A and B are shown apart, each in its own frame.
Chain A
Amino acid sequence: MFLRKFLDKIKPSFQEDGKLHAFRSVFDGFETFMFVPNETAKARGAHIHDAIDSKRIMSFVVIALIPCLLFGMYNVGYQHYLAIGETPEFWASFLYGLAAVLPKVVVSYAVGLGIEFTVAQWKKEEIQEGFLVSGMLIPLIVPINCPLWMIAVATAFAVIFAKEVFGGTGMNIFNVALVTRAFLFFSYPSTMSGDKVWVNGDYMECINGVSGQAVDAVSAATPLGQLAAGDAVQASFCDTVTGLIPGSIGETSVIAIALGALLLLCSGVASWKTMLSVFVGGALTAFLFKDQVTANFEWYEHLTVGGFCFGAVFMATDPVTSPRTEGAKYVYGFLIGVVAIVIRMLNPGYPEGMMLAILLMNVFAPLFDYCVVQSNINKRAKRAAKK
């Protein structure tokens, strides 16, 4: 293959005494990203050897995110044309959204990977691939009007302080994408408050020339924003399922998320136990609090609005920050669902609770693991004592 030959040809210059040695980790990262690595772990000790590289797992999650990304792009354009009073056409909407979303994806990847590459080179380690997923998640969980420099600052903060200081990929306590969002949420609440998500601004005009009419950032309240303000929710249940509502870029459409969830579950990348128990916990809590809600908002609609589905499918199931033991996954997921709805219902300051719920449970994940392991040890000790 052409690419293989090319890589083999330039490989010597990245070896120990080659002239491009400084970029060794970058080369290594790309080579193993394109091809199955030549080296595997040494056949020593009691580790289970698996053919699947963690880059492949990450690639699966990124593929699963594509429906959300594409739909998010379409929805951005759709909301824009709706706001300026034109009928949204499919391709025009999509292209508009593409031009708005793509810079965010590029910025998030450039900043995050830039830091990861630098750190890997500095510590003389292999490049870790964890950021492939985080970099895709970050643009999907921010509102469309969030400026690029904010995303860059927040991504840098999250990658350094939530990931690299803990030891890099696989060592982080908190989900990196959610730390990015939390940073934005607490630092710049006026653009991230969640009670009003601005759908467009005329700054897009110069990029693709699609917008004919200058509209200064029309704001449209999200369903959760209306809920928190005590207003009637305008979006119907059907709208919240298809996702043609204002909201963060990737989180609005339940159908697109379901497609991603299907892929993750079929390939075994995400745990169905976590996913299911998040929904069970959320549904139960929403049902318990159903009398608190304003008119025409049924309890089950809580599961389709805001970031609930997106968080349950892509965030809660993060293999690094969720518990390792199977039993703990049920408890972890269930409590995420409960806390998310409790924050939504009982705290007027935060219309959306999914982000805070998952971050909170990230902290407790090792504790759940400890309890499960300890109870197992106790059970076996008892069994041994009986004999």
Chain B
Amino acid sequence: MALFSKENRQAFTNPLNLDNPIAVQVLGICSALAVTSQLKPAIVMGLSVTVITAFSNVIISLIRKTIPNRIRIIIQLVVVAALVTIVSNILKAYVYDVSVQLSVYVGLIITNCILMGRLEAFAMQNGPWPSFLDGVGNGLGYAIVLIVVGFVRELLGFGTIFGFQVVPDSWLMDNGGLYLHNGMMTMPAMALILVACFIWAHRAYNKDIE
């Protein structure tokens, strides 16, 4: 099979749009609500999930023929847990403040439905290279939604983007202006509504999904 055959390209591009893990399969919602109150943790989380999905897909795909069928979930979990521990430690070492913000949600990537879903549905049946592309595609598809939601929430909830102030202080009510940051944007409830809006817009654009 060619390196970038049609199937391989589809394994990568489908999860970005028509088979998006959050917008279409509605998986991994929990972490999408928890970590998106600001843009920076959202991006770090998206990248972590991408890396872990990609490499766990590769590893499982390599050993898929030797995994006994009855204990495959446990083996998948061990692989994912090992990768999550590595990523978690790397985050602690290099971006400590973000890893504090993400707190338990890095560890909870183990239970992310996207991972188990891809391992079961794709890596168990396909070779390492398509599995890698599929993992990267799904991770990035997840990251796109996180970034969109994180962008809106940080802008409206804190008036900043990447921590840089966008809404000037003089607009605020305390300084005689008329503007106030929307406190609800910093709560997970609003993230759920934003994800719903994303899905709404996505389906309005791609009419052939269901």
Contact = CB atoms under 8 A, between A and B. Distances in A.
Contacts of A267: none
Contact of B184 (A149, A183, A190, A191): A183
Interface stretch (B5-13, B27-35, B60-68, B175-183): B175-183
A79 B182 CA distance: 29
B180 A190 contact: yes
Assign chain B's interface to a size class.
10 to 19
A149 B183 contact: no
Interface string A139-167: 00000000101100000000001000000
B110 interface: no
Contacts of B166: none
Contacts of A189: 183
A191 B180 contact: yes
Contacts of A149: 178
A87 interface: no
Interface in A188-210: 188-191
A187 interface: yes
A190 B180 CA distance: 9
A107 to B, nearest CB: 14
B163 to A, nearest CB: 22
Contacts of A183: 184
B91 interface: no
Chain A residues touching B, range = 10 to 19
A180 to B, nearest CB: 12
A6 interface: no
Interface string A295-314: 00000000000000000000
B86 interface: no
Contact of A187 (B173, B178, B185): B185
A186 B193 contact: no
B187 interface: yes
B193 A187 contact: no
Nearest to A186: B184
A186 B182 CA distance: 8
Interface in A339-370: none
Contact of B180 (A150, A161, A186): A150
Interface string A167-192: 00000000000000001001111110
Interface string B159-194: 000000000000001000010101111010100010
Interface in A307-331: none
B5 to A, nearest CB: 42
B178 A147 contact: yes
A187 B173 CA distance: 14
Contacts of A187: 182-185
A147 B172 CA distance: 13
A190 B182 CA distance: 11
Contact of A161 (B173, B183, B187, B193): B193
Nearest to B157: A187
A186 to B, nearest CB: 5
Contacts of A190: 173, 180
A149 B180 CA distance: 10
A187 B189 CA distance: 11
A191 B173 CA distance: 10
Contacts of B185: 187
A193 to B, nearest CB: 11
B178 A186 contact: no
B194 to A, nearest CB: 11
Q: Which of A161, A183, A186, A191 has the most CB of B within 10 A?
A: A186
A150 to B, nearest CB: 7
Interface in B80-134: none
A188 B178 CA distance: 12
A188 B193 contact: no
Contacts of B180: 150, 188, 190-191
Contacts of B184: 183, 186-187
Contact of B187 (A147, A150, A186, A188): A186
Nearest to B156: A187
B65 to A, nearest CB: 48
A167 to B, nearest CB: 15
Nearest to B179: A149
Nearest to B193: A161
21 contacts: A147-B178, A149-B178, A150-B180, A161-B193, A183-B184, A186-B183, A186-B184, A186-B187, A186-B189, A187-B182, A187-B183, A187-B184, A187-B185, A188-B180, A188-B182, A188-B183, A189-B183, A190-B173, A190-B180, A191-B173, A191-B180
Interface of A: 147, 149-150, 161, 183, 186-191
Interface of B: 173, 178, 180, 182-185, 187, 189, 193
5 shortest interchain CB distances as A-B pairs? A187-B184, A186-B184, A187-B182, A188-B180, A187-B183
